[in-house]
């Protein structure tokens, strides 16, 4: 038996014995085997954009510049579809094997794949909220303005709409604090598609060292994990599901 299959069996054992498993996912969920359109698989959002252009201060000072600069990325997010990894995590959740999915991604693909209990620690691009009256609108309803690089305006009061993502300079989201509680109570955390290197992801995992890691590249927590599977998330989770189905 090769090492990959051995590690898949170990993860299946851990998952079946766990009473409370959560999954933590990152940008590596979009891999080259999935039907997604990200041009650089495994790269985080901020490797595609200049973080200085996406601070809350920049949004407040110049919403025009904010949306002009982000228009190509926002349009790309509208086109992406859930991949194998998203769908398999949704299936594991439906079987009761995964209780909560915590994601660093802002694309809403876990929900599109069928997951119900999702915490988005950096928010979502699937909606936007008015800076004045807090009215929330679906991004689909303002997609035309966003794709043109024009600041969308609130249909109720006419003020600027801000995407419901956590920009640099903003406090951490409610979902982040909920995620810390979920991880602290879990007896297994499946980390997939993230290198874990930076905060606040690293801080989340300080609450729990019962880790299983699936990632194409080494992570900062490999030495602490109960099992490390070096493969893209879609392929590895497919093997995991097949192993579970054989039992």
- Residues in Cβ contact with 204 at an 8 Å cutoff, skipping those fewer than 6 apart: 24, 102, 121, 176, 179, 180, 183
Strand-pair partners of 189: 22, 211
How far from the centroid of its chain's Cα atoms is residue 203's Cα? 16
Radius of gyration of the chain (CA): 19
Q: Rounded to the nearest 5 degrees, what angle is found at the Cα of 6, between the Cα atoms of 29 and 197? A: 40
The answer to whether the CB of 173 falls within 8 A of the CB of 121 is yes
DSSP string, 64-78: HHHHHHHHHHHHHHH
Give the CATH fold of the 37-79+123-165 domain.
SIR2/SIRT2 'Small Domain' (3.30.1600)
Sheet holding 161-165, edge to edge: 136-138, 123-130, 161-165
So what's the pLDDT on residue 48? 56
- Residues in Cβ contact with 144 at an 8 Å cutoff, skipping those fewer than 6 apart: none
Q: For the chain, where are the E strands, in sequence order? A: 21-25, 100-103, 118-120, 123-130, 136-138, 161-165, 188-192, 211-215, 227-230
For residue 72, give both structure tokens: 């190509």
Strand-pair partners of 163: 128
- 1-35+83-122+173-247: which CATH architecture? 3-Layer(aba) Sandwich (3.40)
User: Is the CA virtual torsion 83, 84, 87, 89 positive or negative?
Assistant: negative
Place of tokens 């024009």: 150
Q: How far is CA 231 from CA 31, 143, 208, in A?
A: 10, 35, 23
Enumerate the domain spans of the chain: 1-35+83-122+173-247, 37-79+123-165
- Per-residue pLDDT of the chain in tens (247 residues, 90 and over written 9): 699 999 999 999 999 999 999 999 998 997 544 444 444 333 444 455 666 778 999 999 999 988 888 887 777 777 788 999 999 999 999 999 999 999 999 999 999 999 999 999 999 999 999 999 999 999 999 988 888 888 999 999 999 999 999 998 999 899 999 999 999 999 999 999 998 877 888 899 987 889 999 999 999 999 999 999 999 999 999 999 999 999 9
The answer to whether the CB of 32 falls within 8 A of the CB of 41 is yes
């Amino acid at each position: 038996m090769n090492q990959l299959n051995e590690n898949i069996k170990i993860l299946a054992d851990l998952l079946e014995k766990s009473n409370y498993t959560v999954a933590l996912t990152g940008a590596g969920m979009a891999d080259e085997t999935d039907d997604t359109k990200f041009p650089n698989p495994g790269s985080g959002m901020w490797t595609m954009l200049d973080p200085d252009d996406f601070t809350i201060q920049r949004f407040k000072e110049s919403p025009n510049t904010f949306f002009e600069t982000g228009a190509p990325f926002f349009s790309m997010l509208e086109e992406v579809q859930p991949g194998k990894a998203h769908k398999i995590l949704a299936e594991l959740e439906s079987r009761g094997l995964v209780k909560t999915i915590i994601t660093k991604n802002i694309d809403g693909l876990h929900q599109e794949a069928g997951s119900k209990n999702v915490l988005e620690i950096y928010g979502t691009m699937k909606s936007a909220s008015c800076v004045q009256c807090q009215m929330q609108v679906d991004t689909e309803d303002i997609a035309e303005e966003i794709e043109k690089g024009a600041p969308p305006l609130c249909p109720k009061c006419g003020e600027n709409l801000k995407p419901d993502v956590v920009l640099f300079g903003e406090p951490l989201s409610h979902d982040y604090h909920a995620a810390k509680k979920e991880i602290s109570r879990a007896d297994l955390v499946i980390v997939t598609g993230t290198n874990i290197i930076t905060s606040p992801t690293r801080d989340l995992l300080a609450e729990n060292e019962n880790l299983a890691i699936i990632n194409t590249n080494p992570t900062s927590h490999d030495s602490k994990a109960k099992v490390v599977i070096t493969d893209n998330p879609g392929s590895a989770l497919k093997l995991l599901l097949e192993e579970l189905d054989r039992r």
